[in-house]
Amino acid sequence: YIFLINTITLAQPEFIFNRCGKTGNYTTNSTYTTNLHATLATLPTTNSGLGFFNFSIGEGNNTANSIALCQGDVDADICSSCLNDSIVNLQKLCPNQKEAIIAYGKCLLQYSNNYLLVYPQNIDHFIQFNPGMATDISGFNAALRPLMDELRGTTAAGGPLLKFASGNRTGPGFSRIYGLVQCSPYLTEQQCSECLEEEVTMIGRHDNGKIGGKISIVATTTPPPPLQSPRPPGDEENTSRIVIIVIVILTIILVIIIASLCAFMRLRKKNKRTPARLNERIQSETIDIGTPESLQYNFSRIKVATDDFSQENKLGVGGFGAVYKGKLEDGRKVAVKRLSKFSGQGDLEFKNEVLLVAKLQHRNLVRLLGFSIEGSERLLIYEYLPNSSLDNFLFDPEKRTCLDWEKRYNIIIGVAKGLLYLHEDSRLKIIHRDLKASNVLLDEEMNAKIADFGMAKLFSPEETQGNTDRIVGTYGYMAPEYSKHEMITGQKNQHYRNGENIEDLLGFAWESWNNGTGSDMIDPTLKRGP
């Protein structure tokens, strides 16, 4: 959307608008409900590093897809806070609806049972303007259009990780026109440019010299309603189902916002390694640590094994990409992670998995069989575990009955043994840093195997603590014992449900302990048996 506001009158509610889908509802205990809660709980952990989030889970009509996008110049804490507020409030505003979207001043969130990372065939508009008028309308427009054309080109050429630009230009009778432009990063350069061109054209048609306003071009999976004249923000709520594809914000200010420009320049100067350089680096470093050459698989071989990465073989989608089931020519079943081209952490995860996990051998760690690099494609090949991940059992009302206390205890012990090996017994001292139920896989006998070492950190034998210079995963620190609490209660620690109330699991545990009702924390399945 395009946002035109004089900063002197910027004191407005952060909330912008929301839309609730009209194509269907879900029932409280349905599979889609479980998948939706899972994808919204996991979504904040999938940050590309540049404010784009994407996560999907489930199959067929029960697939829950979610995406989120933060304004390109906001810091990580503001982005995380905005996203968390959006998740909570959107479910209140659109209860039991399969599709919904919400936009705040610094972020937007959308979920749907339809695939989201596509260029829209249908679009809708959201328009809002400040009633104030420029004193020199022709001069205002003459300064505005070149600025927006420049930002449009810079944004569209931003690459697959971040499409964002900001700038300013002197206008008649005032200090500066400040512009900020952003596209969803999965759009191609041409798609982004076309969307922005349409919005820039709409400015001249609808603003008529107004000094502030907002225009949104949003995607719909059904034919959009006729374009309506500008209305107050409150009247724009609860209309047709949409998917926001592009955010374009234009703000007229009296003072140059230098901080935003500096933030943009820092983002533009980030190191951009090409796949070829990554391949060379992986090849050289795997040789340095003694990794056998047999770990490298031919890409065409894996493509055949997964039936060209068909939807039927897709096991799930995480923050770094999709995972597919495959069968090699010798009959072995494998799990293939195809790293997403939109994941800013993909290169780091790929390197960590190959350089660290390939040398680890323990019955409670998922075994990495190999990797493949071809062009921009990056694949990680693991052993196939038929029972998927622990969260699929723990948070499913039906499957959780299979987890009696003996099985849960064995899983806890298995995870502990895997961590002990990583911390004390392996040749490399490794801190996992991303231990959660979805990263604990289960074999055919329900034995636990720790997976996903993309955020792992290598320590020297004498080190007992360390620092990190970049944000990864979920913001903030979560002690490992919290995952153990999930095993006992059968609920996520971030979204614990107590009757009709949703609260923090740790807070409920403390309250129950003080009230002498600690047994209320135990999963009811363990009390009554399967």
Q: Which of 50, 36, 43, 41 is nearest to 346 (CA)?
A: 50
- CB distance 451 to 384 below 8 Å: no
Give every CB contact of residue 317 below 8 A, 6+ residues apart in sequence.
Answer: 54, 55, 56, 57, 323
- CB distance 35 to 64 below 8 Å: yes
DSSP for 112-170, written as a single string = ESS--SS--SEEEEEEEEEEEE-SSHHHHHHHHHHHHHHHHHHHHTT-SS-EEEEEEE-
- CB distance 156 to 192 below 8 Å: yes
Catalytic residue chosen out of the listed positions 434, 443, 504, 520: 434
Tally of CB atoms within 10 A around 301? 13
Asked whether residue 337 is marked as a ligand-binding residue, the answer is: yes
- CB distance 223 to 22 below 8 Å: no
> Counting beta carbons within 10 angstroms of the beta carbon of residue 299, is it exposed (0 to 12), middle (13 to 18) or buried (19 or more)?
middle
Handedness of CA 306, 311, 316, 320 (dihedral sign): positive
> Length of the chain, please?
530
For residue 136, indicate whether it is catalytic.
no
| Cα(185)–Cα(161) distance, integer angstroms | 6
Q: What is the largest CA-CA distance in the chain?
A: 77
| Cα(268)–Cα(152) distance, integer angstroms | 15
State the amino acid at position 473 in one-letter form: G
Binding-site residue positions: 337
The residues that are catalytic are: 434
Return binding residues for ATP: 337
